[in-house]
Amino acid sequence: MIKQRTLKQTISTVGIGLHSGKKVSLTLHPMPVDFGIQFKRSDMPNSTPFKVSAEGVIETMLATKIASGPDSKETVSTVEHLMAALAAFGIDNVLIEVSAAEVPIMDGSSAPFVYLLQSAGTVDQEAPKRFIKIKKTVSVKEDDKVATLEPYNGFALDFTINFNHPVLNRTGDHVACDFSAKVFIEEFSRARTFGFMRDFEKMREYNLGLGGSLDNAIVVDDYRILNEGGLRYPDEFVRHKLLDAVGDLYQLGYPILGKFVGYKAGHRLNNLLIRELMSQQDAYEWVTCEEEEFSIFAQFTLPTFVHA
């Protein structure tokens, strides 16, 4: 039986908020079975933990932003890179305390969160892990953008970007994988968020992106990459979009047995997809798995190394 998993110990880190530019403390606590993945604003008096869910996503403009309720002021933004790392490590039960309205951006990738989880360690719990098994294809579209979930014996992702930009056109626009902790850590976790210089300038006019810099994002002008070190992967842009999709899909709070296919999809379409999935009760079922039952056990077998 594949079991639920939590952390071995509480662990904390500090970073900068992408939009506020202020210091943010992040603490992850191990929790008992069936607790789920919950966030708590440690800077707000009387704040209560709230569980991630498809419906809990309230904004997707520049990042995935979640809230404890439709009109609640208890919100947390930029959760997707941390959520992707939790998905890779198969974490089912954790309390995430954050001292501001956003998770720290760190270096713009999931790698610092991978290191954090590796440092804390994980422990399997005496309860079966629950999966959402895709039974029929579900798809959402906006203009030429498409996001789809299909039946599959495991968890696979396939992503294509098309920005029609001279810099991005020189890098790979498609990536696909069978998801596992090892594959995520080696091939995707270090892929950074990216943006265009003109967009950063506009954000600053609205007091957004105040913490953004070449230290936590790939910045591109009309002709070149401005980061001195260049790219970490030859196709880092599309790899980061796949990383984002992993984090957005894990807003369900449970791992998926199925295949995700995205074409020009982003946070908004990813969230619309899991909302659509949840609205079609005949499109999925809840299952538990024996280790040999699906070709996914490696997803929850952690490697002994980490790329920071």
Residue 61, C-beta contacts closer than 8 angstroms, at least 6 positions apart: none
Residues with a known catalytic role:
267
Nearest to 235 by CA among 194, 271, 289: 194
- Distance between first and last Cα of the chain: 31
> How far is CA 120 from its chain centroid?
19
Write out the H or E segment, with its range, that includes residue 241: helix 236-249
Q: Are 111 and 239 in contact (CB under 8 A)?
A: no
* Per-residue tokens: 10: 């509480």
Nearest to 219 by CA among 210, 207, 208, 231: 231
User: In this structure, what DSSP letter does residue 308 have?
Assistant: -
19 known member of a binding site: no
Percentage helix, strand, coil, to 5, in the chain? Answer: 25, 30, 45
User: In this structure, what DSSP letter does residue 298 have?
Assistant: G
Q: What angle do CA 128, 110, 85 make, to 5 degrees?
A: 0
144 known member of a binding site: no
81 known member of a binding site: yes
Compute CA distances 126 → 28, 135, 302, whole Å. 21, 27, 18
User: Following DSSP, what letter does each residue of 29-95 receive, concatenated?
Assistant: EE--TT--EEEEETTSTT---EE--STTEEE-SSS-EEESSTT-S-EEB--HHHHHHHHHTT---EE
Q: Are 259 and 152 in contact (CB under 8 A)?
A: yes
Which residues are annotated as part of the binding site for Zn(2+)? 81, 240, 244
Which residues are annotated as part of the binding site? 81, 240, 244
